[in-house]
Amino acid sequence: MVRGDVHAVNLPRKRGRAQSGGRYAVIVHDDRLLTMSTVLICPTSKSVRPASYRPRIELGEGRTHVLCEMVGHIDAGRLGDQVGHLSREEIAAVDEALGLVLGLSGR
């Protein structure tokens, strides 16, 4: 497991607009910290509106958006099968979106 991997996940039911249920998620955790018991992920969705903080990626099944505004953590043992890995360009787009969402990009 490394940063940029895409895994199947089953997110618990939440209230409001939080993503839940079976979907894919991108690992955004720094590789140097992947020995921790939890990992940072961003879920994906095919049905959201495009936005600067939702980069589009290609998976075997087609295009989907990474929901960088919904970054969260999951127990590493709850990650399902790896279904893909982001290209360098896609990882750069996720990094830019996370910087925007977290207020880490230059203003």
Q: How far, CA to CA in Å, does 31 sit from each of 13, 47, 57, 61?
A: 28, 29, 20, 26
Q: Cβ–Cβ contacts within 10 Å for residue 30, how many? A: 10
* pLDDT classification of 94: cutoffs 50, 70, 90: very high
Residue 69 is classified by DSSP as G
Interval 20-67: pLDDT, tens = 557 899 999 999 988 888 999 999 999 899 999 999 999 987 899 999
**Distance between CA 77 and CA 91 in Å, rounded?**
23
The CATH code for residues 5-102 is 2.30.30.110
At 82, list the tokens: 């790896």
Global confidence as pTM = 0.87
**Distance between CA 22 and CA 56 in Å, rounded?**
19
